[in-house]
Amino acid sequence: MSLLESIKEGRGRRLAKELWPQTAFAAVAAIVRDYGLRSLAQLDNDTVPSSAPPARERLSLFPLLSAGQYHLAQEIIRQYNNPYLGYARTPADIILSQRLFLAHPDLDPGILATTPLAEIWRQNTACQPEP
Amino acid sequence: MWQLLSGQTEILVQDGFLYLPLLFDAEIAAELAARGGEGRAAGDGGACSLEAANRRPDAAALLLRQDGRYFVQSLSLAALAEHYQTVFPEEYEKLRLALLQEVLSRLRTCTPVLAPELETILFVVLPYFLRTRRGKHRAKTEAGAFLAYVAESHTIPDQAADLLAAFQEQAATLREVLQWLTARQAANPDVPAPAGNGPAVRRWLRTVLQARIIAQEMAQVQEELAARQALADLPKEQLAILLTIAARGALEVDDVGFCGDAKRPGVYWVYKKTGEYVLQDYYGRPYLFPDCRVAVCSAGPFQPVVLDTYKHPLLRRCAPRQPICLTDYQAPQEFSARAIIQALQEGLNALYYGYNSRKRNGYNSLDGFGRHHSEVDFEDWRLPEDDPRILAGELEVKNR
């Protein structure tokens, strides 16, 4: 690479827009609010209300929750803390994110951001060789 | 707003402010923890007037604590009532219509005799061109002088009696409406700021807004009655002429006048006629320009146009309502008598003196030089150089 190309590439990298990091709190807050979660047990028992809205494509940058919802969100983050939690979009994704991280801890963030966790889980499970 | 006050959202009211449940994120929770759960308990602080509460710069009063829950200060009730009309104009209008339902039909029949623009045109712009403050028409007021001037040249029309009767009837109706409003105001005493939750605030806000609407309407009706009284003090024939002008929406006196825009009600074209004048071309040959109306629209833009189908070197083609080509003229942005007068004078000066025969400026030249660029031909307006009207001085060559 010539010096000129190197300078251009460096500048391009520096000026490129960076996505706002998707925090685990923003993801969990959106789920708690959209699905009307009231307790941690709802996740464990899989008793999430069926009339839930479709998963959000974009999360709120600065989510705000009522006191009860905030405490529940913090409890979920403490219970299921893992680097993939920020990519969860449904209550099932919260549990799946932990399993996915334990099974495949080095997934590409680009794939995580663009593909549903369930789909990633299905693909990676299908690719595994039969024992 | 009414949704917020519907009772579904829990609201506390203290010291004239609405307190809404505090929402959390990690930063707010950390800040609250750092403050050690600081915040006044709900009910502390005692009674406080709305005005005093509005001025209070007390940051510590931002949080209220009740049963372990936190509420954060939001709107001031006084500000909510004061700015409600601006922030929620549709809801305010609905409330106004519902409140004034009983007198609305009567109020609608009593529109102001003169709209503010029409008043400016009649009593400032036209007198400026007619010079009514000079000579025998001098009067104490501009309106009186102008109407006396018009009364001299116009006969009182037949429908004047009907218009006068309608004028007096409307004044009586307005007085009735004022009585109704006064009674309604007396029935609504001042309501103190509510101490309760959502529905109580809603009731309070509705009452305060109703009181504001009544006060506003009373002020408007009183203003209209005062304006009508000032008109009623005019001599009868002047009042009849004024009412006729207002009903027709058009007037012309001594080559100055105004007329309504056919497509836009309430918009007027103020015009001044040029009269016949002569311009000469590069070779000194005279051209007779017929009379036309240079006009300015009261709704802007305040650029002079020629209302009639007309041709001139400073007009692009031969068509009605063409703007006059002006250099270095910054049109004012807002309606005022000065804007109209200035634009009319600029337009007239441009038609009379704007064309330079040597420079052949403008869109078209009189003598046909460079005709391939021009759609307009002035040959049909050319006069013989020894025309008796020019020799006698009846027609002035403006660009000599």
Question: Looking at the structure, do residues B244 and B312 belong to the same domain, yes or no?
Answer: no
Confidence of residue B151 (pLDDT cuts 50, 70, 90): confident
Determine the Cα–Cα distance for residues B64 and B10; give it in Å rounded to an integer.
13
Render pLDDT for B335-355 as a digit per residue (tens, 0 to 9). Answer: 999 999 999 999 999 999 999
Determine the Cα–Cα distance for residues B399 and B385; give it in Å rounded to an integer.
15
- Residue A21 touches partner B, C-beta closer than 8 Å: no
Pairwise CB contact (< 8 Å): B24 & A63: no
Question: Looking at the structure, do residues B49 and B126 belong to the same domain, yes or no?
Answer: no
- Residue B24 touches partner A, C-beta closer than 8 Å: yes
Name the residue of chain B whose CA is nearest to A61's CA.
B25
Check pLDDT > 70 for residue B56. no
A74: distance to nearest CA of chain B, Å?
9
Percentage of chain B modeled with pLDDT above 70: 85
Check pLDDT > 80 for residue B74. yes
Contacts A69 to B, Cβ<8 Å: 24
The mean pLDDT of B12-22, rounded to a whole number, is 84
Determine the Cα–Cα distance for residues B139 and B9; give it in Å rounded to an integer.
65
Give the residue, B51 or B353, on which the prediction is more confident.
B353
Q: Say if B91 falls within a structural domain.
A: no
A123: distance to nearest CA of chain B, Å?
35
The mean pLDDT of A50-56, rounded to a whole number, is 62
- Segments forming the whole domain that contains residue B309: 255-391
Pairwise CB contact (< 8 Å): A67 & B26: no
Q: Which of B51, B76, B101 is at the close of a domain?
A: B76
Question: Looking at the structure, do residues B144 and B204 belong to the same domain, yes or no?
Answer: yes
Which segment of A68-77, B39-48, B248-257, B335-344 scores lowest on mean pLDDT?
B39-48
Question: Looking at the structure, do residues B139 and B160 belong to the same domain, yes or no?
Answer: yes
Determine the Cα–Cα distance for residues B364 and B316; give it in Å rounded to an integer.
7
pLDDT at residue B59, as a whole number: 54
Question: Looking at the structure, do residues B372 and B265 belong to the same domain, yes or no?
Answer: yes
pLDDT at residue B275, as a whole number: 92
The mean pLDDT of A15-28, rounded to a whole number, is 84
DSSP state letter for B64: E
Determine the Cα–Cα distance for residues B323 and B307; give it in Å rounded to an integer.
9
- Residue A118 touches partner B, C-beta closer than 8 Å: no
Q: Which of B196, B225, B248 is at the close of a domain?
A: B248
Question: Looking at the structure, do residues B234 and B270 belong to the same domain, yes or no?
Answer: no
Question: Looking at the structure, do residues B120 and B193 belong to the same domain, yes or no?
Answer: yes
Check pLDDT > 60 for residue B241. yes
Check pLDDT > 50 for residue B39. yes
Pairwise CB contact (< 8 Å): B25 & A67: no
- Residue B67 touches partner A, C-beta closer than 8 Å: no
Confidence of residue B48 (pLDDT cuts 50, 70, 90): very low
Contacts A67 to B, Cβ<8 Å: 21-22, 24, 69-70
B345: distance to nearest CA of chain A, Å?
56
Please give the angle made by the CA atoms of B3, B4 and B7, to the nearest 5 degrees. Answer: 85
Mean predicted lDDT score pLDDT of chain B: 83
pLDDT at residue A81, as a whole number: 92
Confidence of residue B132 (pLDDT cuts 50, 70, 90): low
Q: Say if B384 falls within a structural domain.
A: yes
Confidence of residue B396 (pLDDT cuts 50, 70, 90): confident
Other CB atoms within a 10 A radius of the CB of residue A75 amount to 15
- Residue B392 touches partner A, C-beta closer than 8 Å: no
Q: Say if B88 falls within a structural domain.
A: no
Question: Looking at the structure, do residues B244 and B261 belong to the same domain, yes or no?
Answer: no
pLDDT at residue B50, as a whole number: 43
Which segment of A27-36, A108-117, B37-46, B264-273 scores lowest on mean pLDDT?
B37-46
Confidence of residue B153 (pLDDT cuts 50, 70, 90): confident
Q: Say if B110 falls within a structural domain.
A: no
Count of domains observed in chain B:
3
Contacts A66 to B, Cβ<8 Å: 21, 23-24
Question: Looking at the structure, do residues B282 and B367 belong to the same domain, yes or no?
Answer: yes
Check pLDDT > 80 for residue B371. no
Mean predicted lDDT score pLDDT of chain A: 85
Question: Looking at the structure, do residues B263 and B353 belong to the same domain, yes or no?
Answer: yes
Question: Looking at the structure, do residues B159 and B279 belong to the same domain, yes or no?
Answer: no
- Residue A67 touches partner B, C-beta closer than 8 Å: yes
Q: Say if B354 falls within a structural domain.
A: yes
Q: Say if B365 falls within a structural domain.
A: yes
Helices B101-109, B160-187: crossing angle, 10 deg rounding = 150
Strands B256-260 and B250-253: antiparallel
Question: Looking at the structure, do residues B122 and B244 belong to the same domain, yes or no?
Answer: yes
